[in-house]
Amino acid sequence: MEKVIIIRYCEIHLKGGNRGFFEKMLVDNMEKALKGFKHVIKKHSGRYLIEGFAPDDADEMVFRLTKVFGIHTLSVADKTDSNLDDILAAALEVGPECGTFKVESHRADKNFPLNSMQLSAEIGGKMLEKRPHLKVDIHNPQSVIGIDVRENGKTLVFGDVIAGAGGMPVGTAGKGMLLISGGIDSPVAGHMMARRGMTLECVHFHSYPYTNMQAREKVEELAKVLSTYSCGIKLNVVKVTHIQEEIHKKCNGDFMVTLLRRFMMRIAERLAKRCGAQCLITGESLGQVASQTVEGMTSSGSVVESLPIMRPLCGFDKNEIIERSRSIGTYDISIRPYEDCCTVFLPRHPVIHPKIEDVLKEEEKLDVEGLIKEAMNSLEIVSL
């Protein structure tokens, strides 16, 4: 018997003539996830088998693969010869010692002497003989043993079916520039877009020395978590301290957040075009904070000249976002008490429904292009 990992996908099946492209991206992403492990990936009838690895590496390999978008489910299986004795031995290895169970069989090899139902009954009966503490429950079993008789004379026998990350392979839906803060929302927004196949690059705005280096390190950790789902990430770090100081000095302070957001969107668009990104991504959720009203988002978005703005969290409430943040592993990092740049010079009464004519009037007090140029000159790029 040989240990293998079965990879199953679902949505890719719907891609018709483009299916080969999606499958290639899935394989490429699995290879990146398994870098450092000896293995071979082979295609088998609408699924993939990972073979040739050390059994002790299986758990870590499975953990990495559960973060690869495009995988529906996966299982660690025993690959054995297609005869009843070997199939039974494999079933006993992956099956439980006690409790309730059932056997589910699939027979791709129509030359195998037993059909699927007969094979399940045969193996299930012999397991009951070998293990008297087992009981059959076909409706609500504690354990399910899967048997897959393939056309090549081999059979795959497995127990647990592990949920994958779902979605589409990263790299199949273009590239987006994620505006990432140190908060809860933006990493979740990036994860959701990567799950639909989008390659991510990030931009983070900081206000050192008003924000400390720990705030930046927190963002780098968040981007690193995202990179495990998106096959690596580049993080653009831009200093906007001078912009905030100029707004604070020359403009109505109630417009601080609105004006700063407009600068961020302009800079993000320029960085996006530089790296070939086709859209901007934000973690905005309608009505969650003062800048995320329809008027606020309209004001900040109006400065973006040619790229769409994706706001995947727009209709989510905070509890839904927190739940997703926990599930992807960013929540505990996001709640560390280090402030981001948006909390610097925060007005006591920020404008909630900014009128564009009032925003433009305040913005006329600033050297917009000069401030953007200075910010772009501060750019640092971190590869994760």
CATH code, domain carrying 254: 3.40.50.620
**346 falls within a domain:** yes
The answer to whether 236 and 274 are in contact (CB under 8 A) is no
- Among residues 163, 195, 221, the one where a domain terminates is 163
Taking each helix axis as running N to C, give the angle between helix 368-377 and helix 256-275, from 0 to 180 degrees, rounded to the nearest 10. Answer: 60
Q: Are residues 341 and 302 in the same domain?
A: yes
Q: Are residues 61 and 139 in the same domain?
A: yes
Angle at 384 between CA 195 and CA 24, to 5 degrees: 45
- Among residues 140, 163, 186, the one where a domain terminates is 163
Given this model, what pLDDT does residue 208 score?
84
**169 falls within a domain:** no
Q: Are residues 114 and 219 in the same domain?
A: no
**How many distinct structural domains can be found in the chain?**
2
Closest-CA residue to 127 (of 161, 159, 102): 102
**301 falls within a domain:** yes
- Across the chain, which has 384 residues, the per-10-residue mean pLDDT values are 93 83 95 96 90 96 97 96 96 94 94 94 95 94 95 93 95 97 95 97 91 88 95 95 94 93 97 97 89 90 96 95 97 84 68 93 97 97 92
Q: Are residues 17 and 144 in the same domain?
A: yes
Q: Are residues 313 and 368 in the same domain?
A: yes
**170 falls within a domain:** no
Token pair for 141:
């079993």
**86 falls within a domain:** yes
The Cα–Cα gap between 334 and 355 comes to 32
Given this model, what pLDDT does residue 15 score?
79
Given this model, what pLDDT does residue 117 score?
95
Given this model, what pLDDT does residue 211 score?
78
Given this model, what pLDDT does residue 259 score?
95
**168 falls within a domain:** no
The model's pTM: 0.90
Q: Are residues 366 and 222 in the same domain?
A: yes
Domain that holds residue 201: 175-383
- In the DSSP assignment, the letter for residue 357 is H
Buried-state track 188-216, b at ≥16 Cβ within 10 A, e below 16: bbbbbbbbbbbbbbbbbbbbeeebeeebb
- Among residues 101, 132, 163, the one where a domain terminates is 163
The Cα–Cα gap between 220 and 224 comes to 6
